[in-house]
Structure 1
């Protein structure tokens, strides 16, 4: 019977840890999305000036040949009753999550300008993000949602994935949200694989389709 005491002590320690951790925060929103495309080049309708180049840059490609922009459309938002002060939507709070790694934002020296040796530096981060948003993004960059259901939003945005993803075969990627607790649900449709988007390239889906059964 003596073996019970160590187990009792272990359970007591786990209960104490759980009490310290406290309850998980309730989700303030359920966001439904579609992963519409993976694009391997961004073209600009109007070439942009960047400090790391002596010319206006007309297109960007990842330094790593397996990198890409994952493009998503936010289909609808169901803001729960727990969001007493509303849910603060910010397009920059989305992340791609895959096998324990998260991607979002833009790191220096991860993009190549027009196939040349010139790479992006830290000072060009915001001009690049703004230019990509101008080509890809639909919907406001920020918005305060009060409790309720918001259908047919079709807010489109892109997240840069700088390198190949382990064990990724082109299926829908998992989207997460930082800043406020939210549940994100994809509609199960696999993305298109596009050599380029923006500028003179072909378009990319701008609206969600019904989820897979």
Structure 2
């Protein structure tokens, strides 16, 4: 009788442990997570174009565009079918200051005076000259180890705590993790002309992930 009772207790304990392991595994697999790596490519203070020059209108005439590349994108979670990339969800943190990509700002031009950054031709010229990716893009659930997807955040003035190091990029969704993989400080361009200066080359590190590592980010 004692042996039977002990056996039943052992079996019940084992069942509880196994249930806990399975439950933990399922909760981990059903949790939706998105992970991105990025680099801070450059700070551009003025764009030179055939139409004239453009610069972000700042409080101290030291406004600039912080140029970032999303290097890789990974998604995990059984219920996650894909991820919608939206530039408006990003922000930059420098010290205790935060600059949202969604914040409207003005651009000072030599051909049309001061205009809204979302108005053409300013918007078109900024996107074309800096090589920006579409502001919105849906990515089906699969690994993207070599993305190089470009966005900018306008910084209206020189942040007090900024010393030229790669800035911290953030996202409004707490399920999105951003990892800074910058290997060097961003390049400083007082005036950038794509045709005479050449394209802003991505500084994403070369990376080829093994198949099993790529697969591990998906259930």
TM-score by length of 1: 0.68
How do 1:52-201 and structure 2 match up within 5 A? 58-63=52-57, 64-81=60-77, 84-103=80-99, 104-105=101-102, 107-108=104-105, 110-114=106-110, 118-120=113-115, 122=116, 125-127=118-120, 128-178=122-172, 181-189=175-183, 190-201=185-196
Aligned length: 171
* Structure 2 alignment gaps of length 5 or more: 1-30, 208-219
Q: Partner of 2:46 in structure 1?
A: 41
Query: 1:156 deviation in Å?
Result: 1.7
* Structure 1 alignment gaps of length 5 or more: 1-25, 48-57
Larger Rg: 2
Higher helix share: 2
Query: 1:167 deviation in Å?
Result: 1.2
Q: Partner of 1:205 in structure 2?
A: 201
What do the CA deviations read for 1:130-162 (whole angstroms, capped 9, x no partner)? 321122134443222233321111112221111
Alignment partner of 1:32 out of 37, 46, 59: 37
RMSD: 2.7
Distance in 2 (CA, whole Å) between partners of 1:149 and 1:117 is 43
Distance in 2 (CA, whole Å) between partners of 1:62 and 1:142 is 22
Distance in 2 (CA, whole Å) between partners of 1:167 and 1:183 is 24
TM-score by length of 2: 0.67
